[in-house]
Structures are given as C-alpha cells and as structure tokens.
Chains A and B, each alone.
Chain A
Amino acid sequence: MRAGRVAAGALLATAMLAGCGDPEPTCGDFPLSPEKRTCIAESIEWMVDRYYPFEDDKPDVSLDEFRRRVRAANNPAFSDDAFLVQLQLAVAYLRDGHTRLTRPITAPSGRPAAELVRVNDAFYVATTADPLLQMGDRILEVDGEEAFTRHQRLLDRVAASNDEGRSRVATLNLLIGPAGVPAQLRIERGGAELDVAPQRGFVTFFSGGPPAPRRFGEVGYIRVSSFAFLDDVDAFDRALAELEDTEGLVIDLRGNGGGGTHHVDMMLGRFVDTTLPKYRMLDENGNTIRRFGPGSRGRRYAGPVAVLSDPLTYSAANYFVQRVQRDRIGTVVGERSGGGAASPARYRLLAPGVEFRISALLVQDETGGNAEDGLDPDLPVVLTAEEVAAGLASLPGDPATDKVLAEAIRHLESR
C-alpha cells in the first residue's frame, strides 16, 4: 500500500514538472553551420509570412524585399555575428518596433554620459554628467563620421514603428561605440569647434521607478515610466490619492515603452465615469482573441488631465495616448508618439541568445483602425537649439528644466 502511494506521488510530481525548463533552440547551437543559418533564416521568413500584420498598412515595406534581405544575409562569407547583424537589419526593415531579433552580445557597447536631442538636422547635448561635454554642445562628428550621416546610417538598424521613433533611438545611440573606448567627438561650443574624447561607459537600461506624485503649484505630476508592472497601478493610485485636491494633473509617458494594456485600462479607469468602447486584439486570421478597454474604477479624478508623449511612448503607452485623445480624457502634449499597435505574442528561440519575436496580435480600435504609426499631440512642443542650451530639455519632471512639462502646466492652468 505504502509503495503504491509513493509511486503515485512520484507520478504526480513528474507530471507537474513535465514541460518545465528552457526550450531547446530550434536551429541548434553555435557555431552556425550553413544548415543552421538556413534554418534560422527560413524560420524568420516563415514567422513573418504567417504573423506579420502590417503588410497592407506600411507602404514602405515590401515582404518580397524583406525576403531578399534575409536571403542576402545568409552569405557564407559572413561570420556568425555578421550574419545575425544582417538579419537584424532585415528585420528592422519591417518598420515594426515589436518585431525584432536579439543576438548574443559579442562586444559590449557604451556611450558617454550624455543625452542628445535632435533639433532639425543637428544634434545637441541636452544633459551630461561628463566633464568634457556641456549642455548645448552641438555634435558635428563622431569617430570621424559626420553626425547627420552617422544618424542616417543608424536609422536602418533601429526596429521602430514610425520615423519619429527610429530617429529618436538613432539620436540616443549616436555616440555609441565599444565600451571603454573614448568617443572621438568634434563639437561646436560658443561658435568655436573643438575636439573632445569623452569615455564611453557601459550602456545600462533602467526603466525608471514606480509612479510617484509631485506638485507644481496647483498642478499634480505623475511620471509613469512603464506599464510592465502591476504594482505600478497601485503606486499610481496612491500617487493620485495624494494629488486628489489638485486642479490639474500631468501624466508623463515620455520614454514609456509599454507593457500590459490592462495596466493602462486600470489607470485610465480613474478618469472616466463609464465603460469605454472596447478595442480588439486580432490574431493572424483576423479572429478576435480578446476585447479590452477601461471602465470606471474608484473615485474619478475631477480636474483636467494632460499627457506627455514623445517618440519613445510606445505600444501600451501609445494605447494610453490613443485612449486619451479618442475618448477625450485629456490633452496630449509634446511630440508624436512612437506607435506600436500590436502584441509581440509569438517568439522562437532559434539559437542560444538568438530569439525572434514578432507582432502576432493586432490591436484594433472600435472603428477598425489602429495607431501603429503613432499619434500626433494635441499640443505640440518643439525645442530650439537655444532652449536646449538653456537647459530646457535637461531634466524631465521639473518645469524649470523641462519645456514640455512647463507647457503642459501652462495649458492646464489656463483652463
């Protein structure tokens, strides 16, 4: 009897553990033989043929051209890394920020401790912690390459859903290079040209902290840096409770790369009285996978709302902007959002560290349209080179150093 129970327990434990563990790469391990490369290339082609939802929506994208690029990448003369880089370029051609190929990092990248902004066709230091650079410095050359030419070259590498997003990422990466190797920069400062060589540190990614309240006079401010975390909804609620008595609220979604639409819906639920029309998520056959939308939740915030957006406001954050505009929840201030009306629901590990992820579920609004290409703000804010030099793009979240926020506060106060 006892032995039977032990055996039954072992059977149950085995059944529970079955299926756990990392998936095996579809096409095998490195080094990549011609057969493995063909497997990787054909897997990507197959997934794009099956799932890519924007063939009819993006006039600049031809799947025939995409296939040609993928096949051209499969060149025996390329090293494994060069092969994967070429595949990344082919995938970036699809102009979809959700569809991307990751590859193992062979050499770490870095950049100087400085953030750049683009004003027309010029690039300026908006903020810096490097003593060799100053706010307002104009970047003329990077490692001997003219800045604008370098920017144009980087554009093709960026997987983004619209031109604004692609340009913003290329601008942020303009100074990127091998970590630990100084960037050789020619800059313009105070009308004079000079050469500087700031050190490239390692690039770190930080999504930003949870929503926290700030007050600027009678206007409240909450930065939502991501929609990836459920506990941020609760942090948002607590922040809103502290700002309940304000006469207007700014929600800063700049740099917010998205997350879960249900997190968006829950936050938006604090600004509506009713259940808003549902959006749909469609699979590759046009079938509705799910419907979703905000409904009234908790006590409604009574004042007017402004939402800050920029080209890095992507995916679920773009959906937030879309809802705010379409459902007249508030005013969108800043720059065109980055778009991204899909969910990268399908992915495949092709080789160790080589994962292909694709937009497989399309988000469609109640009219049948989508916001894949981003949304223009209701109140656009454009920076000049003089304003960048004066520090008006140096520290987001403070109207003294953040022109977009200052404009949003001015807008709310005028209402």
Chain B
Amino acid sequence: MIDTRWIGETLPPAELTLERGRLRFFAKAIGETDPVYVDLEAARAAGHPDLPAPPTFLFAAELDAGAAFWLVARLGVPLARILHGEQGFAYERLVYAGETLAVHTRIADIYTKRNGALEFVVLESRVVDAHGAAVGSQRSVWVARHPAASLTEAT
C-alpha cells in the first residue's frame, strides 16, 4: 500500500528550457504536419514570436522533473505496475521555444479502489515562466496495479 502521508508532498521543482530542436522532434514524433509547429517563418507569419509548444508538451517538462521516477523511488511502486489513468491541462497562454519554464508538482491525493487492488496517485502541477507568472497547470492520475490485479481490471 502507498503511504497516504505523502499527500501534500511537493516534488523536487524542475526547470525546462524549450528548444526549437526538441519541439521539432516532438512534432515529428506525433506526426504534426501544421508548419506553425516546425517552421519558424510559418510560426511568425501566424503571429507567434517563435515555435509554440503543442498542447501536451508541458507534460514533457513534468517528466523531465523525474516525476514518474520520483514516485517509483519514494512511494515504492515499480514502474512496470504504473499506468496513466487521467491527464488534464489548463492554459493561461501559449509557451514558446526559448522560454524557460519551472514546474511545481504536488501529490494532491492518494486513494485505493477494489480493496486495495488498485491504488491511485493524483499529481497537480503549476507551470510558471521565467518571471514567475503562471502559464498553465496540469493534473495527472496514476494507477498502480496490485500484483494480483490484471491489466484489464486496471483499465
């Protein structure tokens, strides 16, 4: 069982500088064909100061913060037993290549279902820019399967 005393715990803060190359690679990986995300001239023609980060890219910043691996180490949940249950984003503005963002994540909740066969960890993150202004937030729900629970039950 995951100890509920971790509720309210904050993860080590993470910084991520958005690089054009990384954003172009991400665009390639998701098959993005809109030139706004890969072509600087197209981005500027559309009114952007640089390449914008796509809607789910903030999640990469959280991963770079080592959130999943921090969970594994601190909560004692093997990576192979963790599934992503839910994910949400809210935005204050777009973020662009060249910006440095900081991600502040806390464990918002921990609870079990099915008599402990499934354990849930809810993470909430605030993402701020170099001036400390909020650019967005995200919420993740992770599901840890008890060894006796099958994948079908977890999903």
- Are both chains from one complex? no
Residues of B whose CB lies within 8 Å of any CB of A are: none
